[in-house]
Amino acid sequence: MNKINMIEPNMTTLITGGTGFLGRHLIDQLLAAGQTDLRVLTRRHNAELEALGVAQVEGSLDDADALKEAVRGVTRVYHLAGLVERDRTQAHRMYALHVEGTRRLFDALLASDTDIEKVVVASTSGTVGVSRDASFVADDTSPYTESVVRDWPYYLSKIYQERVCVDYQKRHDLPVVLMRPTLLLGPGDWRESSTGDVVLFMKRKVPGVMPGGLSVVDVRDTAAAFIAAMERAEPGSSYLLGAGNLTLAAFFDHLADITGLSAPRLPVPGPLAKLGGKLLSALQEAGAPAGDLDAASVEMARHFWYIDSSRAKDELGFDPRPITLTLRDTVQWIREHHPDFAGTSSHREEPPAEWVPAETLEYARELRRKAGVES
């Protein structure tokens, strides 16, 4: 996990998307590091942020007056506002937020009377890290994946957003850093924006094993990497963030081990998955119910979302916790807070109090070793 540096005082930091999954963890870590002069642009007043002493400007990225107020006196910006949708009919909303909203924010920053130290932008690994080839592993020099994601408007809009960032970096010398996390997991996803696939597994609604693979990362480690980028990253840099790459079959096996549920065993060959995606799409276009799975999800599961986080590790000290620990915390949080699981007992007996998973012990030993403490 990343070590968070103490923040310099008296720096007004603006956060868009501060009430989201990543945003709340980022705010908690900034406060824990000693930064108090935080400001969040939010569509509606948030009582939790008020209780934490975080200033709020009510409005959105398409509200010129709210933007002008939000950027006043700001020196640092975390731009996290986003909309995660797999529904192709929502493409216009994602383009408006990710592309035009980013452009409006940058224009407001350039028009403000303060020097901007850095703008750290939340993008996604899917801008470069997705392929039909299981041997492909993207790094931060990999080209955009437009030909692969052309039918997935979320990822396409994030590619366009990144191009806006690069353009403002070059033409206006705006100090932008791009952060590209993989699938965010961990506790606190109240909107189910990232953990929906885990919920589907826990509801036993994953019918078979698709032939693809994915990369995941803990939201807490991601927030720490964003803070490290604000402190250390050179403007114009980009960073892929992932804790590891694994097949979907291995991902579900991990979840089965943690939850006590059976992993899906029926393999779905690639051609059949493609046919299933087309069938689901046709059903949806005809207005028929298509169940919990959607065509885009089926098609995406045929691909491999593998990435290399070496640059983030080398330059930001990115040190993500093991995937199994993230999955354990994700499942535990869902059991305690998701309306379909809250108050229910575990599907199997809990291990004895003295039992600790081997990977947890190994992770603890590694932390102690890095800290110079003998085991």
Digit-coded pLDDT (tens) for 265-322: 756 555 544 433 343 344 344 443 344 556 677 788 889 999 999 999 999 999 999 9
Report whether pLDDT(352) > 90. Answer: no
DSSP state string for 229-256: HHHHPPTT-EEEE-SEEEEHHHHHHHHH
Secondary structure in 3-state letters for 186-215: CCCCCCCCCCHHHHHHHCCCCCCECCCEEE
Alpha carbons 235 and 120: distance in angstroms, whole number: 9
pLDDT at 83 over 50: yes
pLDDT one-digit tens code per residue, 225-277: 999 999 999 999 999 999 999 999 999 999 999 999 998 875 655 554 443 33
Pairing mode of beta strands 213-218, 183-185: parallel
Q: pLDDT value at position 363?
A: 57
Query: Over pLDDT 70: what percentage of the chain?
Result: 80
**pTM (two decimals):** 0.84
Mean pLDDT of the chain: 85
Q: Using CA atoms, how far apart are residues 167 and 171, in angstroms rounded to an integer?
A: 6
pLDDT band at 369 (very low <50, low <70, confident <90, very high): low
For 151-206, the pLDDT digits (tens) are: 899 999 999 999 999 999 999 999 999 999 999 999 999 988 899 889 989 998 88
Report whether pLDDT(356) > 90: no
Instruction: Write down the pLDDT at residue 8.
Output: 44
Q: Say what the pLDDT of residue 298 is.
A: 77
**Can you list the domains of the chain with their CATH numbers?**
13-262+298-346+353-370 (3.40.50.720)
Res. 4 pLDDT band, cuts 50 70 90: very low
Residue 198: partners with Cβ closer than 8 Å, 6 or more residues away: 185, 255, 327, 330, 331, 334
The residue count of the chain comes to 375
Contact between 303 and 133 under an 8 Å Cβ cutoff? The reply is: no
Say whether pLDDT at 365 is over 50.
yes
Q: What is the mean pLDDT of residues 13-18?
A: 97
Higher per-residue pLDDT: 258 or 87: 258
